[in-house]
Amino acid sequence: MKSHVLIIGLGLIGGSLAKSLQRHKDVHIAGYDTDPMTQRKAYKMGIIQSAPPTLESAARDADIIIFATPVGATLKLMEQSRFWDLKESVILTDTGSTKLRIMEAADQLETPFIGGHPMAGSHKSGVEAAKDLLFENAFYILTPSRKADEEDVMKLKELLSVTKAKIEVLAAEKHDYLTAIVSHFPHLIAASLVHQLDKEEKENPFVRQLAAGGFRDTTRIASSNPEMWRDITTQNNNMIIRQLDNWMNEMNRLKLLLEANEPHSIQQYFKQAKEVRDELPIAVSGALFSVYDLHIDIPDVPGIISELTGYLAEEKISIVNIRILETREDVFGILVISFQRAEDRERAKDCFDRRTSYDSYIS
């Protein structure tokens, strides 16, 4: 007998979960979205196996219900679920980026709830961008409620195992604290750097051209959806403010180093940062949406880019983005090719090492 999984919300995350979970031969994936066009599209594309006409009828048959919706919408759906005719053994879970408010609401439910946060994303959005490999090597955090026992957690882990994500269990408060450090707060820093650039540009217009290289890469995450980050920032406000206080202390420490202007101390500051950064894992997706960049030193001659992309096409290696760096100070290579997965980047590097004389770098 097949297990029934209902995914509510058929965007990038919900659609990608639906595709990857279909690797289970004994699982039926139903999908529901408030936009009927999205739901029909997901069904026609084979992303979901059934498109129930109402949320209530879909929930009635489900063994596991996944809320793949923004946190605000998930909280409303959790409240509505009190009035659904659910199976006694059903498990509820979500995919939200913050967990504390979700789990506070979960403790008011009679149904077992296991918070979830797949730390994966894409430069594209919507059900059309769904990929069955989106979660591969990414962390998938689970935060069980008091009513979810070990058997419930193991059941959800077994379901999610086919995503090839790295599944970890954390308390909701710990999750929000850690993601504030490595995901939420860095978005604020990226946004503030762009605001600073915008102010400087009014007096120095050429600065925008200089920002086309490393600065653009450093602040890439500032291009994320403003509404989503408004919600994340307001929902995890206290944790982010704590990180802002730590950051201001660090900036004061750095300011004192610069005012002292002692070369050895300044070098040590950068040396320690380099050592910590270089020890970060490069084959695992972290809390921030990542693309995997490969820098290639190439001559500025006609046809060179088509030559390199031709090699990748021959070996069936997909790319996310390709760009030429206009400013090269302290940056490896003039050509940067971005990949969805670390494995694709490694295959591309091996391809170029075998077939060209150009140096390629992972940084």
Instruction: List pLDDT tens digits, range 46-98.
Output: 999 999 999 999 999 999 999 999 999 999 999 999 999 999 999 999 999 99
SS3 (DSSP) at 50: strand
Which distant-in-sequence residues (6+ apart) come within 8 Å of 199 by Cβ?
A: none
Whether the per-residue pLDDT at 163 is higher than 80: the answer is: yes
Q: Is residue 327 over pLDDT 50?
A: no
| CATH number of the domain residue 20 falls in | 3.40.50.720
**Is there a domain that residue 276 lies in?**
no
Any idea which residue has 């970060």 for tokens?
280
Q: How many CA atoms lie within 13 A of 17 on its CB side?
A: 30
Do 22 and 58 fall into the same domain? yes
Does a structural domain hold residue 279? Answer: no
Residues 156, 33, single domain; the answer is: yes
Spell out the residues 6+ positions from residue 261 whose beta carbon is closer than 8 angstroms to its own: none
Report pLDDT for 328. 47
Chosen domain end from 116, 142, 170 = 170
Q: Does 354 fall in a domain?
A: yes
pLDDT of residue 202: 86
Asked if residue 132 and residue 15 are part of one domain, the reply reads yes
pLDDT at 221: 80
Confidence of residue 141 (pLDDT cuts 50, 70, 90): very high
Which stretch of 11-25, 90-104, 220-234 has the lowest confidence by average pLDDT?
A: 220-234
* Residue 81 within any structural domain of the chain: yes
Among 170, 201, 228, identify where a domain stops. 170
Tell me, yes or no, whether 157 and 187 share the same domain: no
Question: What is the pLDDT averaged over residues 158-167?
Answer: 95
Do 9 and 96 lie in one domain? The reply is yes
- Domain identity same for 8 and 133: yes
Percent of the chain surpassing pLDDT 90: 63
Nearest CA among 363, 213, 358, 351 for reference residue 298 = 358
Higher pLDDT, 271 or 132: 271
- Higher-confidence residue of 258 and 213: namely 258
pLDDT range class, residue 362, cuts 50, 70, 90: confident
Q: In what order do the strands lie in the sheet with 113-118?
A: 27-32, 3-8, 64-67, 91-94, 113-118, 139-144, 166-169
Domain edge (last residue) among 117, 137, 170: 170
Chain Cα centroid distance, residue 245:
25
Contact yes or no for 122/12 (Cβ under 8 A): yes
Question: What's the mean pLDDT in 353-357?
Answer: 88
Domain region containing 96: 3-170
Question: Are residues 159 and 223 both part of a single domain?
Answer: no
Domain shared by 240 and 313, yes or no = no
pLDDT digit string, tens, across residues 240-264:
999 999 999 999 999 999 999 999 9
Whether residue 329 has pLDDT greater than 80: no
340: domain CATH number? 3.30.70.260
Q: Tell me, yes or no, whether 75 and 98 share the same domain.
A: yes
Q: Tokens representing 147?
A: 């009513």
Q: Are 363 and 332 in contact (CB under 8 A)?
A: yes
Same domain membership, residue 164 and residue 63:
yes
pLDDT value of position 227? 84
Q: Are residues 119 and 26 in the same domain?
A: yes
Q: Can you give the CATH number for the domain in which 207 is found?
A: 1.10.3660.10
Which range among 8-17, 47-56, 329-338, 341-350 shows the weakest confidence by mean pLDDT?
329-338
Classify residue 278: in a domain, yes or no.
no
Q: Where are the beta strands (DSSP E) in the chain?
A: 3-8, 27-32, 64-67, 91-94, 113-118, 139-144, 166-169, 292-296, 321-324, 335-339, 360-361
In a domain, 309, yes or no: yes
286 occurs within a structural domain: no
Q: What pLDDT is recorded for position 296?
A: 87
On the question of pLDDT at 113 being above 50, the answer is yes
**DSSP calls for 122-150:** -SS-SGGG--TTTTTTBEEEEEE-TT--H
Give the mean pLDDT of 301-328: 81
Long-range contacts, 40-46 (Cβ 8 Å, 24+): 41/127, 41/128, 42/10, 42/15, 42/18, 42/127, 42/130, 45/127, 45/128, 45/130
3-state helix, strand, coil in the chain (%, to 5): 50, 15, 35
pLDDT mean over 30-42: 95
Report which of residues 214 and 4 the model is more confident about. Answer: 4
Which DSSP helix (H) or strand (E) runs through 203? none
- Residue 176 and residue 291 in contact, taking contact as beta carbons nearer than 8 Å: no
Residues 163 and 208 in one domain: no
Asked if pLDDT for residue 284 goes beyond 60, the answer is no
Mean pLDDT, residues 32-52 taken together = 95
Amino acid 75: pLDDT: 95
Neighbours of 209 (CB within 10 A): 11
Count of domains observed in the chain = 3
Tokens of 201: 């540009």
CA distance 46 to 220: 32
For 33, the enclosing helix (H) or strand (E) is none
Question: Stretch 180-189: mean pLDDT, rounded?
Answer: 92
* In a domain? residue 332: yes
Looking at residue 268, its pLDDT comes to 96
Residue range 219-231: average pLDDT? Answer: 83
**In the prediction, which pLDDT does 287 show?**
55
